[in-house]
Amino acid sequence: MTHDAPEPGPLPGGLTPRRPTPADHARIQVALAEWWGGLGGAAGAQQRQLLVPRLFLQHFADTSVLAERPDGTLHAFLIGFLSQSDPETAYIHFVGVCPDGKRSGVGSALYAWFFGLARSAGRSRVRCITGPNNRDSIAYHTRMGFRLEPGDTVDGDGVPIHRDYDGPGLDRVSFVRDL
């Protein structure tokens, strides 16, 4: 389905993009523990790691990308897919940029590639979610043109929250962006 998807384009800073493989699972797991600034403590790190099982690298690799430095180490990654159930929708499941690499245009370059891929596959919108305590993610997605979908409550900063979205106590913020 995605065999004719655009190849990841050039990235800032001499980074090389490529599709992930299952062999990348271990270092993405390390990134999920270390790149979120300790968000949610040890439990938060484990939750993130469990949200990116190996299957994403086996079955969603064509719609995902990672960025490597010249020495081959991991700098950033994006895990995405085309919805099987909604032909209008593409979904970004996870994105991470290493702490030293933030605010240098890498996240937006990976998103631009994914938006192009989604458009070329006929998708008209992109969706993703994040945790209400991930203020950096909310700021970034807003800057990237996503709308925050109305939830069932609003927090003190006016952010719409979907309570128990992913289970008891697992509140989420839901984003959508037209392509």
Interface ranges with ligand COA (CB under 6 A): 35-36, 94-97, 102-108, 130, 134, 136-137, 139-140, 143
The CB-nearest residue to ligand COA is: 107
Task: Quote the least distance from Cβ 141 to ligand COA, whole Å.
Answer: 8
CA pair distance 141, 175, nearest whole angstrom = 8
- Three-state DSSP at 78 gives strand
Task: Quote the least distance from Cβ 110 to ligand COA, whole Å.
Answer: 8
Nearer to ligand COA (CB atom), residue 40 or residue 105? 105
Strands (E), the chain: 16-18, 65-68, 74-82, 89-97, 125-130, 147-148, 153-154, 160-161, 173-178
Beta bridge partners of 126: 90, 177
Sign of torsion, CA 8 9 13 14? positive
Nearer to ligand COA (CB atom), residue 136 or residue 152? 136
Nearer to ligand COA (CB atom), residue 3 or residue 103? 103
Nearer to ligand COA (CB atom), residue 75 or residue 123? 75
